[in-house]
C-alpha cells in the first residue's frame, strides 16, 4: 500500500490556517469535501472528533494523524495539512503540531485502515521527511517527497 493511493492531491495544504485541533480537522475535511472525496463533512468531522476523545492523535515530534471510520465515506481518503505557525493538538509530548495527516475510511476496511495508519506513521517517523515536508513551498514538492518515500 502506498500513501499516494489514498492521499488526495487536491487535499494537500502547505499553509494550514487553523491553530487548534478542531479547526485543523475541519479545514482538512472541508478540503476533502471540496475535492468531492467525501459528502456530509460535518458528520465526518464529528466522527474524527469522537475518535480524538479516546486519546489525542497528536503523536509527538510535531505530527498528528487524526483518523476515523464511517460509512459516510465510500473509500479510504487522506488529507495533509502543513502548518507554519503550529497547531495546539494536545500532543503526547505537549508540543505544537506542524504536520496533520487526516485519514478517513469506511467501517468495513479496518485492516486496510490500520495498514494506512502504519504507513503514515512510518513515513512521518523520519526526521528528514518531516523537515522536508515542513520546508515544502508547494503541493507539488509535497507530492514529490511522499512519492519518493513511497518507493520503499
Q: Which of 6, 8, 28, 67 is catalytic?
A: 67
* pLDDT higher than 90, residue 105: yes
**3-state SS class at 71:** coil
Above pLDDT 90, what percent of the chain? 90
Number of domains in the chain: 1
Q: Count CB neighbours of 88 within 10 A.
A: 15
Q: Is 67 a catalytic residue?
A: yes
**What pLDDT is recorded for position 31?**
96
For 78, the grid coordinates are 487522506
Dihedral angle, C-alpha 65, 130, 12, 39, nearest 10 °:
-10
> Structural domain of residue 8, as residue ranges?
3-150
Average pLDDT of span 78-100: 96
From the number of C-beta atoms within 10 Å of its C-beta (0-12, 13-18, 19+), residue 131 rates as exposed
User: What is the tens place of the pLDDT at every residue in 15-35?
Assistant: 999 999 999 999 999 999 999
The CA radius of gyration of the chain, in Å to the nearest whole number, is 14
* Cα gap 20→45, rounded to integer Å: 14
CB 27 within 8 A of CB 13: yes
pTM here is 0.95
**What CATH number is given to the structural domain containing 25?**
3.40.930.10
* pLDDT higher than 90, residue 3: yes
For 29, 31, 70, 125, the CA distances from 39, given in Å and listed in that order, are: 10, 11, 11, 31
User: What is the tens place of the pLDDT at every residue in 118-134?
Assistant: 999 999 999 999 999 99
Amino acid at each position: 500500500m502506498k500513501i499516494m493511493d489514498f492521499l488526495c492531491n487536491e487535499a494537500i495544504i502547505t499553509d494550514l490556517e487553523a491553530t487548534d485541533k478542531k479547526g485543523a480537522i475541519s479545514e482538512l475535511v472541508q478540503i476533502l469535501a471540496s475535492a468531492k472525496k467525501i459528502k456530509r463533512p460535518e458528520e465526518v468531522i464529528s466522527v474524527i472528533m469522537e475518535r480524538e476523545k479516546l486519546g489525542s492523535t497528536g503523536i509527538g515530534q510535531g505530527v498528528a494523524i487524526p483518523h476515523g471510520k464511517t460509512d459516510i465515506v465510500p473509500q479510504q481518503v487522506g488529507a495533509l495539512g502543513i502548518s507554519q505557525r503550529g497547531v495546539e493538538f494536545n500532543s503526547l509530548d505537549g508540543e505544537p503540531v506542524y504536520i496533520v495527516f487526516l485519514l478517513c475510511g469506511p467501517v468495513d476496511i479496518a485492516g486496510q485502515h490500520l495498514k494506512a495508519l502504519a504507513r503514515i506513521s512510518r513515513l512521518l517517523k523520519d526526521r528528514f521527511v518531516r523537515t522536508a515536508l515542513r520546508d515544502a513551498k508547494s503541493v507539488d514538492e509535497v507530492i514529490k517527497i511522499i512519492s519518493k518515500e513511497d518507493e520503499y
